[in-house]
Structure formats: structure tokens, C-alpha cells
């Protein structure tokens, strides 16, 4: 392959037809790897390296263009008229090709050394997600008129907020608690509402993957009443009711501190099965309770955080209900200690307002950074523009990107810092946003007990599905890596079929036809999704430290490190606070 020739594109025209299949059929695939659905044609899909992507990449964009590179947004931030939305977005092959080539040692074997563009900036930000945009905004707030460049490997600003405005009901990750994030929201005038401590579901779909049949059971009210409708063993129903209404003290004779320490050594699944001796159906019913919020199930979710999140089974322990445990993860502690506010327009609205107030900032998208090095009083940053490596000079750089990639960008980092950065193994996450032909009879949020998409929200003519591919039984880090590998091998066709299948099962009783009542499906595939958070029982150094993140985020000359991995926490407010810290480190001298 010629040097510099990294970008190649395969364009395929797909109008899937499902010939005589039922909603529960596994789906078939033609020789192009696409689903063979009958019914409503979705649209033409452009493919890069065999993975769906948006056509038209913004190499240099205004804030509006940078936030709407895929054509999904109108000028006011609402879904654009005529937007089809079919395909896969997020961590596509185009976005990940160069980072993976760096990781595998293939990039510099083919690329020429960087060619200077002659551009000079005060700050270059690597990463155009919430943290990167916040870093640029905070820098310009402190240094008005500064020259700032933001580089990102994706073709749109906003990171995981992409497509947020298309989802029903906003995005649950928009909780704002940290002082820096709250001050930013107030300054920009973004509307907020008070948030509940935990997001509730309207019902649980006890699915055939777990229990052999599908049964949507409404939640709330009398526990015995809804437990009686679950397709589980009779003993499991009794155990579940007991866990909710009258659990005993499982650790009699132990002090409160000793009980918390015992819980800190268990996952919630182990607590249910080994301590409570609950019927296996109970654990199976509860397994996906944390999946949407944490990216993994109860086989990895700590029992101490389950207690802190008001899961059933802990009422008899007599623990202080007025304060969190010292062993709780930082996010669970914050849910106790600080009021939360949700952004009415999601995090996307916050990113848009910051971008609007930075008319002097430059946004260079689909431009993966390949090198960052200190050079005299400043830095030199190299990025790949699709044809060759270009370099720019700056007074400083903020790396608001995945920690795992930083050692490849800055190879002269100290070895202990490189090792700490590599420990940030992100949770894979998949979202699907579906435009329906019309409003559905059933509306609300449903949790699935074993199907691929673990959470579904339907509101009017839109649906949002979320999957957590992490193999929780392996633990968060190993499970995330295994789930990511499986996700990379999963074609869009399989994801599309599973969306149709589960929506048909959820809404079919109201007359919904998954072949004819879906107008568009957009899948946001985030192989590197949620930032991993320190929690028990997986991180014995928590809460006393020191933590790998403390080493990983150390400033290195004129290079500072931000991003949610540096906290670490999978929250927008944590990403914002990390950006403010990085700016403060660099502007302090």
C-alpha cells in the first residue's frame, strides 16, 4: 500500500426486504453482509471499510456544521426535515482506522513524517467531545481572543451526545452535579430540571432469552401484585417479595463498618445468590438493572453500590440511610451528596451553546491526531487529514481523548504514566434511535432481562434502545474488552434485525408491524463508550488511593490531560470539570 493511502471507501446501495419473516425470525443476510428485510426500504448507506458511515466529511467546519455534519440537525437544533437516519454512526471504521493503526504499529510504517501547515495556535485541543469543547471554551473565557484549534477523529462535534436531540425524552447522562458544570450551565442559560436520584422504568420485559417467553410486567405499586405476574418460579416470587419488603439482617453481629466492608467485596449477583440464597430466577430478573447506567450488569456491579442505589435486599442491614458508604463509587456518592439537574435539551444543547460563543475557535473534524510532543516553550501536534500527516504549533495542548490512545500519541511519557493510561478500559455501548411511522399505543421505558437491547424508551413516533455489550461475568475490564471485540464483528444488519425484533415484541400487541412501521434506524456504536469508574469489588485501592487516574492525568510539559477517563466517571459533568482542571494547570504557568 502506498504511503499515506489510508482512506478507502466502499459504497453500497441497500434497500432491505424481509421475505415472509416473522418478527421473531433471526434475520438472513445477502452476500453483501446486509439484512434481507422485506418492507419499508431504509435508504442508501455509505460504507467505509464495510461499516456504515455518514456521507460527506467536514474537514474544516463552523460550529453549526461541526454539530450537524451528518445532516440530522436543522438550524434550530431540531431533527432536520427529511432526515433518513439509516446506518451506523459513532465509533465507525473511519473514526477508528487511524487510532487502531497507531495501536498496531502500522501507521508510521506507511505514513510520511508530518508536513508543517505553518499554523500557530495558543491551544490545540485533541478531542471534540464534551470535555474537549469545554476545554476550548474555558480557555477562551480566561484568555479572550486566543487562537484555539479543536481536532477530532469523528466527523461531528459532541462525542457521545451525537444524535441526542433525536432521542425521546432527552438523555439520562445529562445529570449535572459538579460545581464547574453547574456554573457553566448557569452562565450559558441552558434550561434544567431537578433530577431523580435514579432513573425508573415503567415496566420490565421478562424476555424469552431469560425465561423462555416474553412478558411485559408494569412496575410500581404492590410488589406482591407485580411479582405474581412474572414468569419465574414460585419460590423466586417469594424471594423477590421478601427482598423488597422484609429482608433480614444478613450479617448479624457485625458492625455497620464491617457490613459495608463485606458488601464491598461482593457483586450484587453474588450477594443475591450467595448471601441471600435467592432462587436463580431472582438474580436473572435483576441482572440488567444497572446496565443502562453503568454499561454492565449485576455480575459486575458491586453490592455496595447496589445498596447505595436502593436495590432490593438491604433493608434489614440497618445501615445509615442518610449518607453513602465510604466504599461507594464516586457517582453513587454524588447521588447522595449533591442535588442533580438534568439539561432540558440534553448535553447536546450545552455543547451547541459553547460552540456558538466561540466564533474564533477552529474545528477540524475527521482529523485524527497521531502525535503530540513538547517542543521548546510549546508543542507540535500532528494529525492525519485523510491524505498525509500535517503538523501545527501551539503554546499548549489539552488531550481530551481516550486515555488508551495517549501513549501512542505521546510516546515519550514516563513509563508509569503510560501504564496508568492503559488501565482506562472503556465500556462498550450501543444505541439505536428509531423513527416510527406514527405514535404507538404503548409509551414508556422498559428494561429487558436478557435480550440484546437492555433498555427501550418509546415516546410518540420515536424509540431509543440501548445495549451494553460488556460480558459482565468476566468483570468490567475483561468483560468490556471481550464485548468490544464482539461488537466490532457485529454487522449493521444484525443490529437492525434485533431492533426490529425487540420493538415488534414490545409493541406488537398494539398492532405495531416491525417491517412496515419503522421509517429509519440509526445505530450509534460506541466501542469505547463509558469511562470506567473506580468501584468495589474490582478496585481494592478505592477509596483510599492512590489511583491510576492520578498518575495518568499528570501534566507533561505543555501537555495537559482531560476527558472523563481522567476522573474517571461516565458523566458529562465529570468531563467538564476535568477540562477546567486541565486549563487551570496550563494557565497557572
In a domain, 422, yes or no: no
Q: What's the CA gap between 504 and 496, in Å, rounded?
A: 12
In a domain, 333, yes or no: yes
Spatial contact of 418 and 149, defined as CB atoms under 8 Å apart: no
- The reported pLDDT for the residue numbered 143 is 95
In a domain, 256, yes or no: yes
Spatial contact of 455 and 466, defined as CB atoms under 8 Å apart: yes
SS3 assignment, position 427: strand
In a domain, 196, yes or no: no
Q: What's the CA gap between 54 and 45, in Å, rounded?
A: 8
In a domain, 159, yes or no: no
In a domain, 68, yes or no: no
CA angle 552, 403, 419 (to 5 degrees): 50
- The reported pLDDT for the residue numbered 4 is 36
In a domain, 208, yes or no: yes
Q: What's the CA gap between 402 and 424, in Å, rounded?
A: 8
- The reported pLDDT for the residue numbered 287 is 98
- The reported pLDDT for the residue numbered 48 is 23
- The reported pLDDT for the residue numbered 336 is 82
Q: What are phi and psi of 195, to 5 degrees?
A: -105, 145
Specify the number of domains making up the chain.
Answer: 1
In a domain, 40, yes or no: no
Full residue range of the structural domain in which residue 209 is found: 203-337
Per-residue pLDDT band at 78 (split at 50, 70, 90): very low
Per-residue pLDDT band at 195 (split at 50, 70, 90): low
- The reported pTM is 0.82
Provide the phi-psi class of 328: left if phi over 0, else alpha when psi is between -120 and 50, else beta. Answer: beta
DSSP 40: S
Asked whether the predicted pLDDT for residue 403 surpasses 60, the reply is: yes
pLDDT in tens, 3-23: 333 222 222 221 221 122 222
Per-residue pLDDT band at 79 (split at 50, 70, 90): very low
Cell matching residue 349: 444543547
Residues 6+ apart with CB under 8 A from 186: none
Higher pLDDT, 359 or 463: 463
Per-residue pLDDT band at 103 (split at 50, 70, 90): confident
Percent of the chain with pLDDT over 70: 80
Tell me the pairing of strands 462-467 and 51-53.
unpaired
Q: What's the CA gap between 392 and 118, in Å, rounded?
A: 7
Provide the phi-psi class of 132: left if phi over 0, else alpha when psi is between -120 and 50, else beta. Answer: alpha
Higher pLDDT, 470 or 67: 470
Amino acid at each position: 500500500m502506498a504511503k499515506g493511502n489510508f482512506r478507502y471507501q466502499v459504497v453500497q446501495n441497500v434497500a432491505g426486504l424481509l421475505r415472509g419473516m416473522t418478527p421473531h425470525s433471526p434475520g438472513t443476510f445477502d452476500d453483501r453482509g446486509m439484512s434481507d428485510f422485506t418492507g419499508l426500504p431504509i435508504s442508501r448507506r455509505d460504507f467505509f471499510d464495510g461499516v456504515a458511515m455518514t456521507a460527506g466529511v467536514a474537514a474544516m467546519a463552523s460550529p453549526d456544521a461541526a454539530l450537524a455534519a451528518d445532516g440530522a440537525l436543522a438550524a434550530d437544533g431540531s431533527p432536520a426535515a427529511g432526515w433518513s437516519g439509516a446506518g451506523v454512526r459513532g465509533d465507525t471504521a473511519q473514526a477508528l482506522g487511524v487510532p487502531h493503526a497507531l495501536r498496531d504499529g502500522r501507521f508510521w510504517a506507511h505514513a510520511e513524517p508530518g508536513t508543517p501547515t505553518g499554523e500557530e495556535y495558543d491551544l490545540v485541543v485533541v478531542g471534540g467531545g464534551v470535555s474537549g469543547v469545554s476545554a476550548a471554551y474555558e480557555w477562551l473565557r480566561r484568555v479572550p481572543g486566543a487562537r484555539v484549534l479543536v481536532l477530532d477523529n469523528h466527523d461531528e462535534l459532541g462525542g457521545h451526545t451525537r444524535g441526542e436531540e433525536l432521542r425521546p425524552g432527552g438523555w439520562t447522562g445529562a445529570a449535572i452535579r459538579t460545581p464547574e458544570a453547574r456554573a457553566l450551565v448557569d452562565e450559558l442559560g441552558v434550561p434544567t430540571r431537578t433530577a431523580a436520584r435514579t432513573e425508573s422504568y415503567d415496566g420490565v420485559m421478562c424476555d424469552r432469552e431469560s425465561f423462555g417467553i416474553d412478558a411485559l410486567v408494569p412496575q410500581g405499586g404492590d410488589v406482591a401484585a407485580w411479582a405474581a405476574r412474572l414468569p419465574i418460579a414460585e419460590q423466586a416470587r417469594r424471594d423477590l417479595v421478601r427482598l423488597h419488603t422484609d429482608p433480614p439482617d444478613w450479617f448479624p453481629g457485625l458492625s455497620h463498618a464491617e457490613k459495608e466492608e463485606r458488601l464491598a467485596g461482593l457483586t450484587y449477583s453474588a450477594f443475591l445468590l450467595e448471601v441471600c440464597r435467592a432462587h436463580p430466577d431472582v438474580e436473572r430478573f435483576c441482572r440488567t438493572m444497572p446496565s443502562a447506567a453503568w454499561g454492565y450488569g449485576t455480575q459486575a456491579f458491586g453490592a455496595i453500590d447496589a445498596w447505595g442505589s436502593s436495590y432490593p435486599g438491604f433493608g434489614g442491614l440497618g445501615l445509615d440511610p442518610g449518607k453513602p458508604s465510604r466504599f461507594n463509587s464516586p457517582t453513587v456518592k454524588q447521588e447522595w451528596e449533591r442535588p442533580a439537574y438534568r439539561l432540558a435539551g440534553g448535553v447536546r444543547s450545552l455543547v451547541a451553546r459553547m460552540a456558538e460563543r466561540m466564533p474564533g475557535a477552529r474545528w477540524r473534524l475527521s482529523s485524527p491526531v497521531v502525535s503530540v510532543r513538547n517542543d521548546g516553550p510549546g508543542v507540535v501536534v500532528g494529525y492525519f487529514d485523510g491524505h498525509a500527516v500535517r503538523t501545527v504549533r501551539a503554546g499548549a495542548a489539552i488531550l481530551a481523548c481516550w486515555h488508551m490512545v495517549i501513549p501512542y500519541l505521546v510516546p515519550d511519557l514516563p513509563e508509569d504514566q503510560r501504564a496508568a493510561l492503559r488501565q482506562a478500559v472503556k465500556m462498550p455501548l450501543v444505541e439505536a434511535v428509531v423513527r416510527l411511522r406514527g405514535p404507538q399505543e404503548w409509551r414508556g421505558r422498559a428494561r429487558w432481562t436478557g435480550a440484546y437491547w437492555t433498555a427501550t424508551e418509546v415516546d410518540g413516533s420515536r424509540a431509543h434502545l440501548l445495549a451494553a455489550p460488556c460480558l459482565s461475568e468476566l468483570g468490567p475490564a475483561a468483560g468490556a474488552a471481550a464485548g468490544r471485540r464482539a461488537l466490532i464483528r457485529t454487522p449493521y444488519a444484525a443490529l437492525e434485525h434485533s431492533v426490529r425484533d425487540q420493538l415488534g415484541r414490545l409493541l406488537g400487541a398494539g398492532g405495531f408491524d416491525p417491517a412496515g412501521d419503522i421509517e429509519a434506524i440509526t445505530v450509534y456504536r460506541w466501542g469505547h463508550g463509558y469511562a470506567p469508574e473506580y468501584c468495589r469489588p474490582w478496585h481494592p485501592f478505592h477509596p483510599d488511593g492512590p489511583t491510576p487516574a492520578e498518575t495518568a492525568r499528570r501534566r507533561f510539559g505543555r501537555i495537559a490531560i482531560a476527558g472523563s477517563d481522567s476522573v474517571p466517571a461516565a458523566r458529562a459533568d465529570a468531563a467538564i470539570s476535568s477540562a477546567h482542571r486541565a486549563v487551570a494547570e496550563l494557565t497557572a504557568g
